[in-house]
Amino acid sequence: MSVFLDLETYLLIIISKLGLKIKFKNTQKNTFMTYENFTVNAQEAILKSQQLAGSLEQQGVDTIHLIKGIIETDEKLAEFLLNKMGVNIPMLKRDLNVELEKYPKVHGGDKQFLTNDANKALATARKLLKDFGDEFISLELILMGIIEGNDKAATILKNQGANAEKMKAAILELRKGRKVTDQNAENQYNSLKKYAVDLNERAEEGKLDPIIGRDEEIRRILHILSRRKKK
């Protein structure tokens, strides 16, 4: 099905590209945050969640929509974090889709808005900046903000074994000491996860095929490596 973006979504895209300010209300402190507070990928995830709600004729953009937006924006990053927490991703996607169908449809509605739960998740993500030493709200902080909530999306994730402690550990492993100090940081610390296979990790998890009948090849490789090491 084709998705037609409403005027507001187009304006959000244009404004974010120009670096102008869009305000998100922080319902807990009655303060505001802007698109400048988010990484480029986080901005895209929010826009995708809005587009998803619009395609389903739903006005409220909830945390369920945000999770879908995160996965669609950077599936590799989302899979890494979810796998580290032991989440069954196919089951998660199924549960998210089931919940999406339960939201009320508003025929003729041309604007989407963040629900209170979605606003709270983003506000929590903002508070987490200090914990990680970040300057911008990233995809993983939004996901952690959702996990720390008590709504339906948080319940689905927690029922799958996710929690804030596991999420923090997964983020630290993903970043390997890096901090989000610019709006494109996610692409930098996640590039190897996207374009390479961690053979050490696969070996530890027992996912590598056993090497049988390759004794001669192994001896030759070791011989070559030992010769190069002597030089």
State how beta strands 23-26 and 31-34 pair. antiparallel
Provide the b/e sequence for 133-171 (b: ≥16 CB within 10 Å): ebebbbbbbbbbbbbbbebbbbebbbebebeeebbbebb
State how beta strands 60-61 and 23-26 pair. unpaired
pLDDT bracket for residue 201 (50, 70, 90): low
195 pLDDT more than 70: no
Residue 132 identity: F
**Which residues touch 163 (CB under 8 Å, ≥6 apart)?**
85, 147
Which of 68-82, 101-115, 132-146, 151-165 bottoms out in mean pLDDT, i.e. has the lowest? Answer: 101-115
109 pLDDT more than 80: no
pLDDT bracket for residue 15 (50, 70, 90): very low
The predicted structure's pLDDT at residue 67: 98
174 pLDDT more than 80: yes
**133 — alpha (psi -120 to 50), left (phi > 0) or beta?**
left
**Mean pLDDT of the 107-128 span:** 89
The predicted structure's pLDDT at residue 98: 96
Which of 18-27, 60-69, 77-86 bottoms out in mean pLDDT, i.e. has the lowest? Answer: 18-27
Residue in the block written with tokens 């922080």: 26
Distances (CA, A) of 219 to 178, 214, 226: 39, 9, 10
pLDDT bracket for residue 211 (50, 70, 90): low
% pLDDT > 70, the chain: 72
**Mean pLDDT of the 116-123 span:** 95
What mean pLDDT, rounded, does the chain reach? 82
pTM score, whole prediction:
0.73
State pLDDT tens for residues 65-91.
999 999 999 999 999 999 999 999 999
CA 31 to CA 25: how far, in whole Å?
A: 6
174-177-182 Cα angle (round to 5): 85
227 pLDDT more than 70: yes
Residue in the block written with tokens 């244009």: 14
CA 83 to CA 81: how far, in whole Å?
A: 6
CA 174 to CA 80: how far, in whole Å?
A: 8
**Mean pLDDT of the 116-139 span:** 95
How many helices (H) and strands (E) the chain has is answered by 13, 4
**Which residues touch 209 (CB under 8 Å, ≥6 apart)?**
none
Domains assigned to the chain: 7-197 (1.10.1780.10)
- On whether the CB atoms of residues 181 and 134 are closer than 8 A, the answer is yes
β-bridge mates for residue 78, sequence order: none
Is the torsion defined by CA of 41, 43, 49, 55 positive or negative?
negative
Helix (H, G, I), strand (E, B), or coil: what is residue 34?
strand
The predicted structure's pLDDT at residue 185: 82
